Amino acid sequence: MRIIVCENYQSLSKKAAQIIGSQMILKPNSVLGLATGSTPIGMYKNLIKMYEEGLIDFSKITTFNLDEYYNLPAENNQSYHYFMYDNLFNHININKENVHIPNGMAQDIDNECLHYDKMIDNSSGIDIQVLGIGNNAHIGFNEPTINFNKGTHVVTLDESTRKANARFFSSLEEVPTKAITMGTGSIFKSKKILLLASGKNKAEAIYNTVHGKVTPEVPSSILQFHQDVILILDKEAASLLSKDDYEVVQEVSKVK
Ligand code: PGA
């Protein structure tokens, strides 16, 4: 596990976008695994800027999103469909046919889960998967539980997750109780994983991800077994780690 600590959220976002951008330059038809939540928004802004500057091209890129609320229409401005179009897809030259987000409105939800995993398998596999992390160490919507879930599945959201996400809705009651998410197994199959965390409220989850026992009660702890994981943290999210755990990103000053 490689851990990079940035000065603040702005530099974390830039660093994450540079890593995704490099992947896209090296492999223009990359398959990207994408995440929602507040944390990746800055990375998406930087990617849009890189696209506008002509540095990266999304025309051959395929994407798979981690999760979506169950039974929340795509048009709802709190759906992850809406989030992804609003924060990224509407601003870049991605072919919309190459965009995949689990359909939480599917009539046959079990079939939707199987179909989603099949589509990932039928692509060349996810080259780089972006993850946020919950205060309870969830990745995607894989909440703390008694076993690691392999494939895409329906989950009942933890009360702590619903409360954390209530800030986006007008009330806690409006936050869906269920979601459809890629499993830890689907995430683990990604060739490279980029986990972003910002803020003091993530520090304990990050400590447990790096140093804790590997257990489904700490879903992110499975990443200790993955061969290519990069954690990009700001100082606050890294505050419970020791300095020996990580590398510090120095801001490069302009050379005249
Ligand atoms: P956040 O959510 O980026 O809004 O903190 C992360 C997550 O819950 O996975």
What would the DSSP string read from start to end of 46-96? HHHHHHHTTS---TT-EEEESEEETT--TTSTTSHHHHHHHHTGGGS---G
How crowded is residue 170: how many other Cβ atoms within 10 Å of its Cβ?
A: 9
| Beta-carbon contacts of residue 83 (< 8 Å; ≥ 6 apart) | 36
140-190 per-position pLDDT tens digit: 999 999 899 889 999 999 999 999 999 999 999 999 999 999 999 999 999
16-37 per-position pLDDT tens digit: 999 999 999 999 999 999 999 9
For residue 224 and ligand 1, the question of a CB distance below 6 A is answered with no
Q: Which of 80, 189, 85, 170 is nearest to 132 (CA)?
A: 80
Q: Which atom of ligand 1 lies closest to the CA of 196? A: 3
Spelled out in words, what is the top-level CATH class assigned to the domain 2-249? Answer: alpha beta
For residue 38 and ligand 1, the question of a CB distance below 6 A is answered with yes
Please give the full DSSP string across 109-152, using - where no structure is assigned: HHHHHHHHHHHHHHTT--SEEEE---TT--BTTB-S-SS---S-
Q: Which of 179, 237, 204 is nearest to 3 (CA)?
A: 237
**Domain range list for the chain:** 2-249
Q: How far, in Å, is the centroid of ligand 1 from the Cα of 253?
A: 31
Catalytic residue among 127, 143, 234, 236: 143
